[in-house]
Amino acid sequence: MRAIPVLLLTTCLAGCAGLQGGLSGANDAAGPLHDEAERLLDQARIDPLTDFLQRHASHSRDRDYQRIARERDSRCRAIGTRYARQPASIETLNMLRRGYARSCPEQVEAFARRVASRPAEPETESTRTPIAAQAQPERSPVAPGTGDCYLLYAIRNYQQGIPACESAAATGDPKAQHHLATMLRNHSPADSLRWARQSADRGHAPGQLLLAELYQQGQGVEADPARALELLEAAARQGLAEAQYQTGMAWLEGVGTEADAEMALRWLERSAGQDETRAQLQLAKMYFGVSGPQQAAARQWLRRAASRGSASAQYQLGMSYLEGTGGPADPLEAYVWLSHALLNGERRAAAGVEQLAGQLSARQLEIARQRINDGTQGRY
């Protein structure tokens, strides 16, 4: 099956007036790099993108050159996010260097700094802490028992986790303070607010995100959407995908600020580039709402989310191919993705699957069913 291309925003980052006026350049004729760029977006490796950028450096203002540059950066961010969840070991660093040193040097360097700053501390939790935050040296020594706090929080054993994290949080550990604030959130909002503030004040991105949510919902404090947005942006700038998504939605809906579609698109694209499914679905929705060739971006974001197992994205992508929205109609593609959605529990897909089964030839059904089988075994 084709690799999943990602059409990143090309015009709003340069300053557009918003979706209502359309994305500038949508009707421009294809440039000299267009065909080669399309082929590159249709394959999964990163180094070919880097080769393209080096060969065509003199065309850096070309729209397709900028598409490839953003795609390369997006894929590198995804690699960084994946390795941020891996143990900070020399072995893992060497693996990262072998695969990505040429195209993603920033991600390799960030992991290297993480290894250097915590050479003897094993990872005990798979978190969504951004690379930028993990790459910084610890602000204070790790207190005895901190690992227990992290582990108990990770396995959701809050009964034992609260006292363990209280001890660690009292030493000034921002991660423990965040964990403690999270565990106290529903039954002790005032204490949750106190610890979330301490974590946020130390620059811990998840702590900033949690404190923003407390301000948004008025938990333990008077609701303050503007202050919440400040905190969300602080966490988003550190690379936290969840914060980037919430920041984008705040700008889109005008929560804590005036609505601004350009700012919303900017933050949602960053989040979607780290495979935050909700951001990818939101971008698809926004692109389906514009006219012209740029509408095809909706289908590209749906493919990325669908290939990661989102039933909603699989259904929407299948319907896009069935109805010809965001690109040409393609009954075989529609059958594949609607079938995935149906297998994934999306009952709305059943009617489309039944309809298409009677339209496809025996050979097309054979091809489609093989692809469906490949996808269910993780080989999208």
pLDDT level of residue 97 (50, 70, 90 thresholds): confident
Of the listed ranges 34-38, 182-186, 338-342, the one predicted with least confidence: 34-38
CA terminus-to-terminus distance, the chain:
6
- Return left, alpha or beta for 292; rule: phi > 0 is left, psi -120 to 50 is alpha, else beta: left
Whether the predicted pLDDT of 345 surpasses 90: yes
pLDDT of residue 139: 43
Percent helix, strand, coil in the chain (nearest 5)? 65, 0, 35
Residue-wise DSSP of 244-306: HHHHHHHHHHTSSS---HHHHHHHHHHHHHTT-HHHHHHHHHHHHTS-SGGGHHHHHHHHHHH
Write the single-letter amino acid at 114: R
pLDDT of residue 356: 96
Instruction: Tell me the pLDDT of the chain averaged across its residues.
Output: 84
pLDDT top residue among 7 and 242: 242
CB 333 within 8 A of CB 353: no
- Residue 250 makes CB contacts below 8 A (sequence gap 6+) with 225, 228, 229, 232, 256, 257
The share of the chain scoring above pLDDT 90, in percent, equals 56
Q: 190 to each of 168, 182, 186, 193, how far by Cα in Å?
A: 19, 12, 10, 5
Whether the predicted pLDDT of 238 surpasses 90: yes
pLDDT of residue 332: 96
64: helix, strand or coil: helix
pLDDT of residue 17: 35
pLDDT of residue 110: 85
Whether the predicted pLDDT of 27 surpasses 50: no
pLDDT in tens, 106-142: 888 888 888 777 644 443 443 343 433 433 434 444 5
pLDDT of residue 249: 98
pLDDT of residue 145: 63
pTM of structure: 0.64
Write the single-letter amino acid at 13: L
| CB-neighbour burial class of residue 170 (10 A; exposed 0-12, middle 13-18, buried 19+) | middle
pLDDT of residue 262: 94
Structure tokens at 316: 């929407």
Structure tokens at 376: 């269910």
pLDDT of residue 168: 92
Sequence spans of domains, the chain = 279-376
Residue with tokens 């914060």: 243
Closest CA relative to residue 30, chosen from 296, 223, 266, 276 = 296
pLDDT of residue 118: 60
Pick the most confident of 30-44, 87-101, 177-191, 290-304: 177-191
pLDDT in tens, 38-91: 888 877 788 888 888 988 888 888 888 888 988 888 888 888 888 887 788 877
